[in-house]
Amino acid sequence: MEKIVRNSGYSLTRLAERLGISRNTLYNRFTESHLGYRFIMEVGNIIYYDFTIDFPEINQDPELLGDDPIPAPAQEDGAASLWRIEAKHAKLLKKYTILLDFMTSIVQQNELPAFEKELLAFKEEANKEQQEEQEKQDNKKDET
User: How far is the C-alpha of 64 from the C-alpha of 58, rounded, in Å?
Assistant: 6
Q: What is the pLDDT along the chain (144 residues), one digit of tens a residue?
A: 888 888 888 889 999 999 999 999 999 888 887 777 888 888 888 888 888 888 777 776 655 555 444 444 455 566 666 766 777 777 788 888 888 888 888 888 888 777 778 878 888 888 888 888 778 777 766 765
Domain co-membership, 30 together with 58: yes
Question: Is residue 71 assigned to a domain?
Answer: no
Domain co-membership, 50 together with 107: no
- Tell me the residue length of the chain: 144
Q: What is the domain count for the chain?
A: 2
Half-sphere exposure of 71 (CA within 13 A, CB side): 7
User: How far is the C-alpha of 36 from the C-alpha of 24, rounded, in Å?
Assistant: 18
Q: At what angle do helices 78-109 and 113-143 cross, to 10 degrees?
A: 150
Residue-level pLDDT at 24: 92
Q: Residue 20 belongs to what domain range? A: 2-65
Question: Is residue 129 assigned to a domain?
Answer: yes
User: How far is the C-alpha of 121 from the C-alpha of 79, rounded, in Å?
Assistant: 34
Domain co-membership, 82 together with 139: yes
Q: Name which of 29, 38, 22 is nearest 1 in CA terms.
A: 29
Q: Burial, 46: exposed, middle or buried (Cβ in 10 Å; 0-12, 13-18, 19+)?
A: buried
Q: Which of 65, 86, 120 is the last residue of a domain?
A: 65
